Each structure stands twice: as C-alpha cells, then as structure tokens.
Amino acid sequence: MFKDTVIAYYRAHPGLAAPYREELRWLESPCCRDDYMAVYPYPFCGNSLRDAGPIAVRRGAGGLPYVMHGGRRLYFPARWGNAGDGLIAYKYRYLCMEQHPESPHCYLTPALRAARFDTLIDAGCAEGMLALEMIGRVERAVLVECDPAWLPALESTFTPWKHKVTFVCKKLGDTDGADSITLQTLARKYGIRNALVKLDIEGYERQALAGAGDLKEYARAVLCCTYHRADDAAVLAGELARCGYRPEFSRGYMLFASPPDWLPLPEPPYFRKGLVRAE
C-alpha cells in the first residue's frame, strides 16, 4: 500500500519526519486500514466514516440513484447504481468526510459560508455537492464538468433550480476550443460577477488560471486544489497572489496516492497541501 511506502520513507529518513509527526501517527495506527483512509491522514477521517450512520439510497426517474443531502436530492451516475447501494453510501460518506471542517480538502470556511456571492463557478463539479449546498445563496451556478457521464445525474439534482444553473461539459483550460473553455470566456459569456470560483480539475488548475484573464474583475474568491502536482501549492498560491488575492492554505496535508495517468507519480516528501483559498 502507498501508506506503507510513506511510512518506510520516513523511518529511513527520521530527520525529515518532524513536520509530519501528526500525520505519520495516523498512518501507523491500526485505524488507518488502507490507502483510502490515508489520503486525509488524521483521526477525523476514520471517525467521520465510522460515525456517519446508515445512508438511505433511493432511485429517482430513470432509476438514477440518489441520497438526501441537506434535505435535497443528490444524484449519482447510473453506473454507480449498478455497483450496488453499498458503494454509493460509502462514496457519499467519503464526500462528506472530505468537507469535514478539519479536512485539508474542505472548501468553505464559516466566513465563506456566510458570504454572499452572485455566481458560483464550480469547475470539476462531479456530483455537484458544493453547488447543491450553495444553490439557494447564489443567483447563478455554472457547473463545469468534462466527463459527460455526470450530466444526467447533475441535471436530475438541479432540476428544481434549472432556471439558474448552466452546465458546461468541457475542460477548463487556457484555450477555447471544441472541448475546452477558459474562465475568461465563461465570465464574458454569462456576465459573471462577484463570483466564487472553485477549481478541482485533476491537475489542470494552472491552465485554468492562465486562461482566467483579469480574474479579480469577476471573481471575489477562489478555491483551488493544490495536491495534484508536487509543486502546486507554491505555484498556484503564487499565481493567485500575483492576481491580487491573499492566498491562505487549508489546514494539514494530503497524500495523493493514485494520480491519473497524465500526472507524475508521487515522490518524497509525499505530503501535500490540499487547497488554497484566496480572497
């Protein structure tokens, strides 16, 4: 397991372990059973997954599976339903765990939850849980997801708010094309202002910022994942500072055990900052 690789590295290099003692304690504990529980190397991970309680998985129109999230239906792709309700319940618990206040992947601070934004741009929205939580507090939500398999689930989730939700099934990047679009183009096309922009796009965050134009002109705050590449934290926080924002990292560290094929394999020191928030 990847967590064993990390443990072995720091046992061989004890002089480098001091900044990560809390994280290493979790990795070495019997509660951290596998790499899924090592991604967020803190006790809250195990506690959240264990104490979540039963999750009722239901079926909506066309047989799409959904769970209730904050009193609203959150749909998942049909292929997940084919794998059984147990998988969907676990995935949902994991999504909730990722947004625990102590999580390095937690998007919203209490101050951001209380703030008023006109628009949410949720890039790499997947199931759309963040947008579902915010849909009652924004005038428009632009959901960017390049995987078309998510679209039926997203359309079902946001049917009650279809008058103010726009789906963009393209990659967010630094050029406009048949299968790509830039933040600058999104902002101009939809008249976006006073926006909260979330970027969790599998290592393409740099390209998204490169194609953002004058980001501060339309984005009041940016939430940008920083764990896909080893130097993402420094590069992306630096870019946001150059745009005129004040970047602050989420607490703690993450382990990115299984990057997609287009990203480099993890290397020491392995631990990465999960998210930078910039206002």
- pTM here is 0.95
> DSSP letter string over 11-73?
HH-GGG-GGGHHHHHHHHSTT--SGGGTSS-SHHHHHHHHHS-----EE-GGG-EEEEETTEE
Q: What is the pLDDT of residue 47?
A: 86
Q: What is the pLDDT of residue 52?
A: 67
Range of the domain at 11: 2-278
Q: What is the pLDDT of residue 48?
A: 83
Joined together, the tokens standing for residue 141 give 């939500």
DSSP 158: T
Per-residue pLDDT of the chain (279 residues; tens, 9 = 90+): 999 999 999 999 999 999 999 999 999 999 999 998 999 999 999 888 877 678 999 999 888 999 999 999 999 998 887 778 999 999 999 999 999 999 999 999 999 999 999 999 999 999 999 999 999 999 999 999 999 999 999 999 999 999 999 999 999 999 999 999 999 999 999 999 999 999 999 999 999 999 999 999 999 999 999 999 999 999 999 999 999 999 999 999 999 988 888 899 999 999 999 999 999
Q: What is the pLDDT of residue 61?
A: 83
Other Cβ atoms closer than 10 A to 44: 15
Nearest to 118 by CA among 191, 51, 36, 59: 191
**In this structure, what CATH number is given to the domain that contains residue 104?**
3.40.50.150
CB crowding 121-144: b at 16 or more within 10 Å, else e: bbbbbbbbbbbbbbbeebebbbbb
Q: What is the pLDDT of residue 144?
A: 98
Q: What is the pLDDT of residue 49?
A: 80
Q: How many domains does the chain have?
A: 1
